[in-house]
Amino acid sequence: MMHIEVFTFNPFQENTLVLSDDSGACVIVDPGCFEDHEKAELQAYVEEKGLKVEGLLNTHCHVDHVLGNAWVARTYGVELTMHRLDLPTFKANEVVAPQYGFAAYEAANPVHFVDEGDQITFGNTTLEIFFTPGHAPGHIVFYHREQGVVIGGDVLFRGSIGRTDLPGGDFDTLAASIRSKLYTLPEEVVVYPGHGPETNIGFEKQNNPFVKG
C-alpha cells in the first residue's frame, strides 16, 4: 500500500509529495521547500513516520519544483532522478531562480536519467515512468498501477492543464501527452498534480475545458 503525503510549498503553491509504503521506505517528488520552516515541516514528517528516504524524483525542473532538491539530496544522502530532456529547464534555473527571488537556490546534481518504460522501485513499491512533454520538454509522470494513482506534475490539473508558454513548452505536444498517456488510463485513476487538488481521469475527460477526452 503506497501512502501519498502532499505538502504545499513556496509562493507558487507547489505540491511536494512524499510517497511511502509499509516497509518504511519513501521517495520525495518535486521538493519545492525553500524556507527553513518548509524544510522543517517535511523533515518532521519523515522523522515522525520513521521513514527512510530512498530517492529524489523530479517530474520536471521548473524552479518551483526543484527549490528543495539540494537540501533533500544532502539531508538524506539521495541522488536526483529526472529525464535527460529536462536538463535545459534544470540549467535555466541558474538565471530563473534569482529572477523569481530565490537567490539562495542551490542546484542538486542530476545523477539518474529515466525514460518512458523505465521503473522506479522503493521498498515494495514500483512506479512506472511515462514521458509526457509539452509543459516542459523532459516532463515525466509516475504511475502506480496497482492503486491507480498518477503523480502528474504540471501536465493535467483539476479543470486545467500545465502552461505551455515557457521555454520548451508546446500546446499540441502537451495535448498529445494527455490524450495518449493519461486519458488512456482507467477513468477512476487519481491524478496528484503539482498544483491544486487531486482529480481523476474520468472527470477530466468529461470536464477539462482545454483538452477534451
| Contacts (CB under 5 A) with Zn ion, residues 147-166 | 154
Contact 140, 60 (CB under 8 A): yes
Instruction: State the minimum distance, in angstroms, from the CB of residue 60 to Zn ion.
Output: 6
Size of the site for Zn ion (CB under 5 A): 2
Quick check: 14 binds Zn ion (CB under 5 A)? no
CB under 8 A, 24+ apart: contacts of 165-171: 166/62, 166/135, 166/136, 167/88, 167/89, 167/92, 168/88, 168/89, 168/133, 168/136, 168/137, 168/138, 169/134, 169/135, 169/136, 169/137, 170/133, 170/134, 171/134
We find the least distance from the C-beta atom of residue 167 to Zn ion, in angstroms, to be 11
Question: Could you tell me the smallest distance in angstroms from the CB atom of residue 140 to Zn ion?
Answer: 12
Site for Zn ion in 119-138 (CB under 5 A): none
Pick the binder of Zn ion from 55, 56, 58, 62 (CB under 5 A): 62
Query: Residue for cell digits 518548509?
Result: 38
Site residues (CB under 5 A) for Zn ion?
62, 154
